[in-house]
Amino acid sequence: MVPAAVLVAGAVLLVWSVGVATTLGPADVSLVNVRDVLLNHLTGAGIPVRASEDAIVWEERLPRALVAAACGAGLSVCGVVLQSLLRNALADPFVLGISSGASAGAVVIGVMGLGGGVLGLSGGAFVGALLAFAAVLGLTRLAGGGTTVVVLAGVASTQLFSALTSLVVFAVADSDQVRGVVFWLLGSLEGVRWPDVVLTGSVVLVGVAVCVVAARSLDALAFGDDLASSLGVPVAHLRAGLLVLTALLTAALVSVVGAVGFVGLVLPHAARLLVGQSHLRLVPVAALLGAVFVVWVDAVGRVAFAPTPLPVGVGTALVGVPVFAALLVRRRRRA
């Protein structure tokens, strides 16, 4: 079990990070202002707050920080699960081609307008992500299955849908559409609102809960499929179910914020350094670390590059690559 003190400390750090991130921006908002706005909306306290401050906190910054936290937590947990299922330390939520599929779906809706009145950009991204995952599953089955085949099928799917995205942009999009598509592909939290908080928060809570329940089975898989089966773990069903779960979770997050890379790759390794390999500890700690990480990457990107915020996907890559390199060096020195 995760020591209660670790979870409490992580939760406090996350709440504090969301609060501080909500104060950052061109308009001066204090933590006291944030507290008063929250009390007014959640309890009807009636504390005097300027309308401009209420709108900034409740309609813009707080939803953005909460979606960032949900995105970081979800992608980090997906990384933990995929690295365990595929036995590949470099696996992350986009190894299954989900990100490229979501990008292709969003581009088709945003540039070509197909089904735009029904789906919208986020809906198109979600459908594209599911189609990409279905293609990976189909190719994996035709090729005979296995974790290596899943990874290779994911690489093929990624390249296919990336090529389709480039083709649509090259053949159809005008300059304004190209700028909009590129910004979305880089990962963006611009314009997120409370419905996005509800969607991302709900799917992440469900995903984390399922992964915690499956934690001991994931531990058993680390010793090989045969030993896990001898311990009563339904290996095939567990692997298929968790792959579908990570695909749906990643698709939901990508459909809201676009492609945010390196979170699912780097944060699971950082969590392992803190709490070891046990998934009962690893899953919740990775979720908290991922949430705090993306909240701060987005907050710093908004302040440092004002008035045009840095796309969060760019920020996670800029931070994630050096951190991952440091983890690799540290791992080699320990070996």
pLDDT (0 to 100) of residue 67:
97
CATH code (residue 57): 1.10.3470.10
Q: Model confidence over 87-130: pLDDT tens digits?
A: 877 788 877 788 888 888 878 887 777 665 566 777 887 888 88
Specify whether the CB–CB gap between 200 and 70 falls below 8 A.
yes
Of 38, 20, 39, 40, nearest to 30 (Cα)? 20
CA 242 to chain centre: 16
Low-confidence ranges of the chain (pLDDT < 50): none
Q: Read off the pLDDT of residues 230-284 as tens digits, 9 standing for 90 and up.
A: 888 898 899 889 988 988 898 889 888 888 888 998 899 889 888 888 999 999 9
DSSP assignment letter at 270: H
The two tokens of residue 65 are 């920080």
The sign of the torsion formed by the CA atoms of 31, 34, 40, 42 equals: negative
Nearest to 258 by CA among 322, 329, 200: 200
* pLDDT at residue 242, as a whole number: 92
Per-residue pLDDT at 331: 63
**What span, in angstroms and rounded, lies between the C-alpha atoms of 234 and 43?**
47
Peptide bond into 48 cis (omega under 30): no
DSSP H/E element including 38: helix 31-43
pLDDT given at position 332: 62
Determine the pLDDT at residue 226: 85
Is the distance from CB of 172 to CB of 111 less than 8 angstroms?
yes
**CA torsion, points 192, 196, 197, 199, in degrees to nearest 10?**
-160
Confidence at residue 231, expressed as pLDDT on a 0 to 100 scale: 84
Say what the pLDDT of residue 148 is. 79
Distances (CA, A) of 96 to 34, 213, 246: 39, 23, 10
Give CA separation, 43 vs 14, 32, 95, 191, in Å.
22, 16, 43, 26
Instruction: Please report the pLDDT score of residue 55 as a whole number.
Output: 92
**pTM of this structure:** 0.89
223 CB burial (10 A radius; 0-12, 13-18, 19+): exposed
Angle at which helix 4-23 crosses helix 279-304, to 10 degrees, equals: 10
How many domains, the chain? 1
Please tell me the distance from the alpha carbon of residue 268 to that of residue 319, in angstroms, as a whole number.
15
Q: How confident is the model at residue 323, as a pLDDT? A: 75
Measured in Å, how far apart are the chain's first and last C-alpha atoms?
A: 27
What residues make up the domain containing 66?
Answer: 4-334
**Measuring CA to CA, how many Å separate 72 from each of 28, 77, 146, 189, 199?**
26, 9, 28, 12, 14
